[in-house]
């Protein structure tokens, strides 16, 4: 009996059966195709979840079991670009990892992009993989006697290989983009990416208030010097993690340089809410950090600028936040400051001073002044400390305290030091004629300069070229001596080799203690004036001075007392301490060499009078 159906026409039973079977086959094929799509989607999800630190080919290998049925599998990759050796990088049998594979003709085809199945006693399926300029192949095998890989497997393998290669290419592109936009140490946005993000945010900000907070760590350099850069890096990562824990999900944190972070606070719902965030950061960063078994304490100085009150662009906000941070750091470290009109005037003055300093360097408008150093037993001049002064347009000398910090920040310190040392060396003949060639000359060197081998080698060679390097004393801050790295390992032997002496300047104002003297090499120690002022009336200062002088005397270290300004202070130092040398306004102020030479007789008369006064007190 025939069937009359407009869709299929008049069909015999045999024809109808064939139509049904054909439709069933099409349905089965469609079902298999849907299953394959589902498998590939699952595989793609796994590929997209590969971490940045994962080997890309090993990551693909881990996803194979979701797609194919196999007994064993290996991934073989080129070591370094096309034509290089093949090495097994991952396998179900770990004994195969690391084995070399010959570049057979079949492998070349697969590496070129061809999916291949072989029908032997042990069926095998080969799939190509590519990630940027590195090629690999996967080989899947089934046990002897198991069904081989059919056309469906080959079709699926082509799709999987293409999918995996595209996923790896996208992953590589994402990694490159992330590396370009993020700090490799902390994973935070970097300077460029953050600036672009803030600019986009400001463009769409409308009339809402946004804050930019500049965060600068206090004392971070000492961590690097004391514990090394590895611990310093670990501390930076810990700081980044802690700040992220203290801010809101809408705020964005970036690291823009060594120990400087910038925070975009968006939105600012109220000044009180912003204050709460800033105070939370200040308190949180004062809590101890456990780094490599050391308990480290530090703080942060924070400057804040508001949009739109303090700027409409990222550059303006960052500059003003930086100005506020600088004010906080110079006023009270570990505090916060908000930008205002007064700080704007300070920033303008600082910018003006920056231009003045740059011009002064170009025109070599710096010179040295010398302050006598006196032997406390004989009250005779035995040396001089050379100090830097800037010469203004009227010929007046500005003290170093007015410019040295900014010069260091601007990277001008080396140039200024070189000009001043030229002046000192040119002054030696006149100085020697007046006070004798036996006198020493002390030169101040910053911690940054002291830990730079090239800078120190050039300086030492200049001093050695005078023919009398032993008369020079390099005054270095405690930071340099406490460096865990280059200073003790490289600079100290260099100083000793050239025959120059080293002095610890302003001892007691930083991180050093008496115990540190056991582990450092110094010929001289200068005690800061805070311990000398009114020492005859201050029992604590007396105890500290006596202990310090006694300890250094046993270590063979000369002690210099700075800031001696009264006869009472002098009398106490001479009568009650073993301090060797002293300097201060009581003896003479820092003076240009020509004036110092002209006033030699006056200085010597003052010293004779002081000797007489001390003798009268003793009687």
- Domain CATH number, residue 375: 3.20.20.450
Residue 354 lies in a domain: no
- Number of domains, the chain: 3
Per-residue pLDDT band for 460 (boundaries 50, 70, 90) equals very high
pLDDT of residue 62: 67
Single residue among 179, 207, 234 that ends a domain in this structure: 179
Single residue among 134, 149, 179 that ends a domain in this structure: 179
Residue 487 lies in a domain: yes
Average pLDDT over residues 246-266: 93
Residues 531 and 592 occupy one common structural domain: yes
Residues 475 and 518 occupy one common structural domain: yes
CB 582 within 8 A of CB 570: yes
Per-residue pLDDT band for 57 (boundaries 50, 70, 90) equals low
pLDDT of residue 171: 64
Taking the CA atoms of the chain, what radius of gyration do you get in angstroms? 38
Instruction: Dihedral sign for Cα 326, 327, 331, 337, please.
Output: negative
Per-residue pLDDT at 618 exceeds 70: no
Cis omega (within 30 of 0) on the bond before 531? Answer: no
User: What would the two tokens of residue 242 be?
Assistant: 């802690």
CB 516 within 8 A of CB 482: yes
Single residue among 152, 179, 206 that ends a domain in this structure: 179
The predicted-structure confidence for 103-117, as pLDDT tens digits, reads as follows 888 888 888 888 888
Residues 220 and 147 occupy one common structural domain: no
Residue 59 lies in a domain: yes
* Of 537 and 570, the one with more pLDDT: 570
Residues 159 and 270 occupy one common structural domain: no
CA distance 566 to 529: 12
CATH code for the domain of 174:
3.30.450
CB 307 within 8 A of CB 317: yes
Which structural domain range is residue 61 located in? 18-75+107-179
The proportion of the chain whose per-residue pLDDT surpasses 70, expressed as a percent, equals 82
CA distance 91 to 110: 18
Residue 90 lies in a domain: no
CB 74 within 8 A of CB 96: yes
Residues 590 and 524 occupy one common structural domain: yes
CATH code for the domain of 256:
3.30.70.270
List Cβ neighbours of 514 (8 Å cut-off, separation of 6 or more): 547, 548, 551
CA distance 397 to 415: 18
Per-residue pLDDT at 160 exceeds 80: no
The predicted-structure confidence for 513-562, as pLDDT tens digits, reads as follows 565 565 667 788 888 888 888 888 888 888 888 777 777 777 788 889 99
Residue 94 lies in a domain: no
pLDDT of residue 589: 93
The proportion of the chain whose per-residue pLDDT surpasses 90, expressed as a percent, equals 38
CA distance 333 to 328: 6
Instruction: Name, of 37-51, 198-212, 481-495, the range with top average pLDDT.
Output: 198-212
Residues 252 and 372 occupy one common structural domain: no
Lowest-pLDDT range, 92-101, 254-263, 445-454?
445-454
Residues 199 and 113 occupy one common structural domain: no
Residues 320 and 387 occupy one common structural domain: no
Q: Classify 328 as helix, strand or coil.
A: helix
Per-residue pLDDT at 384 exceeds 90: yes
Per-residue pLDDT at 276 exceeds 80: yes
Residue 98 lies in a domain: no
Residue 83 lies in a domain: no
Residues 195 and 323 occupy one common structural domain: yes
Question: Strands 440-445, 381-391: parallel, antiparallel or unpaired by DSSP?
Answer: parallel
pLDDT of residue 1: 44
Can you tell me which residue has the tokens 């040398």? 581
Residues 31 and 167 occupy one common structural domain: yes
CB 465 within 8 A of CB 432: no
Instruction: Name, of 86-90, 310-314, 503-507, the range with top average pLDDT.
Output: 310-314
Burial 69-91 (b: 16+ CB within 10 A, else e): ebeebbbbbbeeeeeeebbbbbb
The predicted-structure confidence for 487-515, as pLDDT tens digits, reads as follows 777 788 888 899 999 888 877 655 455 65
Is this prediction's pTM over 0.75?
Answer: no
Helix 567-576 to helix 600-618 angle (10° resolution) is 60
Residue 335 lies in a domain: yes
Using alpha carbons, list the distances in angstroms from residue 371 to 173, 257, 383, 585. Answer: 63, 39, 8, 9
Lowest-pLDDT range, 56-60, 226-230, 267-271?
56-60
Residues 234 and 298 occupy one common structural domain: yes
Residues 498 and 423 occupy one common structural domain: yes
Lowest-pLDDT range, 370-379, 457-466, 551-560?
551-560
CA distance 359 to 365: 8
């Amino acid at each position: 009996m025939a069937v009359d159906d407009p869709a299929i026409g008049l069909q015999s039973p045999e024809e109808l059966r064939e139509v049904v079977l054909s439709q069933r086959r099409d349905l089965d094929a469609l079902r298999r195709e849907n299953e394959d799509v589902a498998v590939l989607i699952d595989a793609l999800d796994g590929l997209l979840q590969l971490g940045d630190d994962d080997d890309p080919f090993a990551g693909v290998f881990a996803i194979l079991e979701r797609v194919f049925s196999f007994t064993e599998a290996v991934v073989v990759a080129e070591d370094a670009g096309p034509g290089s050796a093949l090495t097994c990088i991952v396998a179900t049998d770990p004994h195969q990892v690391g084995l070399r594979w010959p570049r057979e003709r079949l492998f070349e085809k697969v590496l070129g992009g061809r999916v291949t199945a072989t029908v032997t006693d042990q069926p095998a399926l080969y799939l190509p993989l590519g990630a940027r300029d590195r090629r690999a192949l996967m080989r899947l095998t089934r046990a002897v006697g198991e069904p081989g890989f059919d056309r469906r497997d080959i079709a699926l393998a082509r799709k999987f290989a293409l999918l995996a290669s595209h996923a790896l290419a996208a992953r590589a592109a994402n990694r490159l983009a992330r590396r370009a936009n993020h700090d490799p140490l902390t994973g935070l946005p970097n300077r460029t990416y953050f600036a672009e993000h803030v600019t986009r945010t400001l463009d769409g900000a409308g009339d809402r208030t946004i804050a930019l907070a500049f965060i600068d760590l206090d004392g971070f350099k000492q961590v690097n010097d004391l514990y090394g850069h590895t611990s310093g890096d670990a501390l930076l990562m810990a700081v980044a993690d802690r700040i992220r824990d203290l801010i809101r999900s809408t705020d964005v944190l970036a690291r823009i340089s060594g120990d400087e972070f910038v925070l975009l606070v968006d939105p600012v719902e109220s000044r009180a809410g912003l204050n709460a965030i800033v105070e939370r950061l200040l308190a949180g960063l004062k809590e101890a950090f456990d780094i490599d078994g050391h308990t480290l304490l530090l703080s942060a100085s924070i400057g804040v600028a508001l949009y739109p009150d303090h700027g409409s662009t990222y550059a303006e906000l960052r500059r003003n936040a930086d100005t506020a941070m600088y004010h906080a750091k110079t006023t009270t470290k570990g505090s916060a400051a908000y930008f205002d009109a007064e700080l704007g005037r300070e920033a303008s003055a600082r910018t003006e001073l920056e231009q003045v300093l740059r011009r002064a360097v170009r025109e070599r408008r710096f010179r040295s002044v010398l302050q006598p150093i006196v032997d406390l037993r004989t009250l005779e001049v035995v040396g001089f400390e050379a100090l830097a002064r800037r010469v203004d347009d009227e010929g007046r000398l500005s003290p170093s305290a007015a410019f040295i910090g900014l010069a260091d920040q601007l990277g001008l310190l080396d140039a200024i030091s070189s000009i001043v040392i030229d002046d000192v060396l040119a002054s030696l003949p006149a100085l020697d004629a007046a006070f004798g060639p036996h006198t020493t000359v002390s030169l101040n060197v910053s911690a940054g300069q002291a830990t730079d081998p090239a800078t120190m080698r050039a300086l030492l060679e200049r001093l050695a070229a005078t023919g009398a390097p032993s008369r020079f004393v390099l005054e270095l801050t405690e930071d340099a001596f406490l460096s865990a790295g280059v200073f003790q390992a490289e600079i100290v032997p260099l100083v000793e080799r050239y025959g120059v002496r080293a002095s610890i300047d302003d001892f007691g104002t930083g991180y050093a203690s008496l115990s540190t003297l056991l582990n450092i090499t110094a010929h001289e120690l200068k005690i800061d004036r805070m311990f000398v002022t009114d020492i005859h009336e201050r029992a604590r200062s007396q105890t500290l001075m006596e202990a310090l002088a006694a300890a250094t005397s046993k270590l063979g270290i000369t002690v210099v007392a700075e800031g001696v300004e009264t006869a009472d202070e002098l009398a106490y130092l001479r009568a009650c301490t073993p301090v060797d040398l002293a300097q201060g306004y009581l003896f003479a102020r820092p003076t240009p060499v020509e004036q110092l030479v002209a006033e030699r007789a006056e200085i010597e008369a003052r010293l004779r009078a002081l000797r007489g006064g001390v003798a009268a007190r003793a009687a």
